[in-house]
């Protein structure tokens, strides 16, 4: 990737914006060499997403598998910070799109970023072929392994279903199964290291499937935003329809908020 400034590129004969994705002219829209009217009605949402992102053509079955990943991550209730933030913003009377944007903007490295980390882990581990070395190196740094464990679920129903949907595609050669096998190898090794059962979470299996489809890990947060965005829209809309006003992060009860700063000095008048 070029690190030259836009002005330098432009001065040397480059266009101000250069893109291989789309060519838009009067009465004509071309996306990665195909006319948009030839794509409409032919490509599914997931197929179009991947086609735009990296020019890759997903088969119908691969697209349905990615659709399933998007559906699996769509909602996790107001426990999820992104959902809670969107609902809280809606109670403050902002515009609907601002409430949705508030939720989307909560997604980052901590909330919503585990898929990217898990994809990096799976890509690197599958290439190196040494699960033990990779996991031991991460644990030695005191870091959490992305894609494993969940604060609420120990048998997440979403994980089981995605495995079920992926299995026929492996047996029929639609995906290799390499990264799902790597994920399971990591789970088994981690369980052995921790001396207790460790489960794969939704981020782990979602990451493995996206690796199976050769998607770039750098786009994982954006793809998750498209998935969780569905839930954010639904929850923000529900809160708007309820008409609740100013629901803060917690009820107005003293024991829920504790001041830990300096105590105020006594007034000279007391």
pLDDT in tens, 120-156: 999 999 998 889 999 999 999 998 899 998 778 888 9
* Of 118, 145, 144, 87, the residue nearest 211 (C-alpha): 118
pLDDT, one tens digit for every residue, the chain (270 residues):
567 788 988 998 889 999 999 999 999 999 999 999 999 999 999 999 999 999 999 999 999 999 999 999 999 999 999 999 999 999 999 999 999 999 999 999 999 999 999 999 999 999 988 899 999 999 999 988 999 987 788 889 999 999 999 999 999 999 999 999 999 999 999 999 999 999 999 999 999 999 999 999 999 999 999 999 999 999 999 999 999 999 988 888 999 999 999 999 887 665
Query: For the segment 238-257, what is each residue's pLDDT rounded down to a tens digit?
Result: 999 999 999 988 888 999 99
Residue 40 DSSP symbol: T
Q: How many secondary structure helices (H) and strands (E) does the chain include? A: 12, 3
CB-based contact 43:35 (threshold 8 Å): no
How far apart, in whole angstroms, are the C-alpha atoms of residue 151 and residue 145? 14
CB-based contact 201:147 (threshold 8 Å): yes
* Of 107, 110, 115, 70, the residue nearest 86 (C-alpha): 107
Q: Quick one: 57-247 is in which CATH superfamily?
A: Cytochrome P450-Terp, domain 2 (1.10.230.10)
CB-based contact 102:94 (threshold 8 Å): yes
How far apart, in whole angstroms, are the C-alpha atoms of residue 263 and residue 59? 65
* Of 102, 110, 91, 89, the residue nearest 229 (C-alpha): 102
Sign of CA dihedral 250, 253, 258, 262: positive
How far apart, in whole angstroms, are the C-alpha atoms of residue 242 and residue 225? 25
pLDDT at 175: 98
In the block, residue with structure tokens 């060519």: 23
Q: What are the b/e assignments for 95-106, b being 16+ CB within 10 Å? A: eeeebbbbbbeb
CB-based contact 215:75 (threshold 8 Å): no
Quote the tokens at residue 229.
Answer: 């965005």
């Amino acid at each position: 990737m070029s690190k030259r400034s836009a002005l330098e590129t432009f001065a040397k004969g480059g266009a101000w914006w250069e893109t291989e994705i789309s060519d838009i002219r009067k009465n004509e829209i071309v996306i990665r060499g195909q006319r948009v009217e030839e794509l409409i009605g032919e490509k599914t949402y997931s197929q179009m997403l991947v086609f735009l992102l990296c020019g890759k053509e997903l088969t119908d079955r691969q697209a349905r598998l990615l659709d399933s990943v998007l559906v699996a991550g769509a909602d996790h209730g107001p426990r999820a910070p992104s959902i809670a933030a969107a609902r809280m913003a809606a109670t403050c009377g902002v515009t609907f799109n601002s409430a949705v944007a508030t939720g989307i903007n909560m997604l980052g490295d901590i909330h919503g970023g585990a898929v990217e980390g898990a994809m990096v882990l799976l890509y690197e581990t599958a290439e190196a072929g040494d699960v033990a070395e990779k996991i031991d190196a991460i644990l030695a740094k005191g870091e959490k392994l992305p894609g494993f464990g969940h604060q609420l679920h120990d048998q997440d129903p979403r994980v089981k279903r995605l495995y079920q949907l992926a299995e026929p595609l492996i047996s029929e050669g639609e995906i290799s199964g390499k990264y799902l096998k790597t994920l399971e190898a990591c789970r088994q090794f981690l369980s052995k290291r921790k001396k207790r059962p460790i489960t794969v979470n939704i981020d782990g299996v979602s990451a493995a499937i996206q690796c199976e489809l050769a998607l770039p890990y750098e786009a994982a947060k954006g793809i998750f935003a498209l998935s969780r965005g569905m839930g954010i829209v639904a929850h923000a809309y529900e809160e708007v329809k309820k008409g609740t006003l100013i629901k803060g992060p917690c009820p107005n009860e003293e024991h829920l908020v504790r001041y830990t700063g300096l105590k105020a000095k006594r007034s000279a008048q007391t």
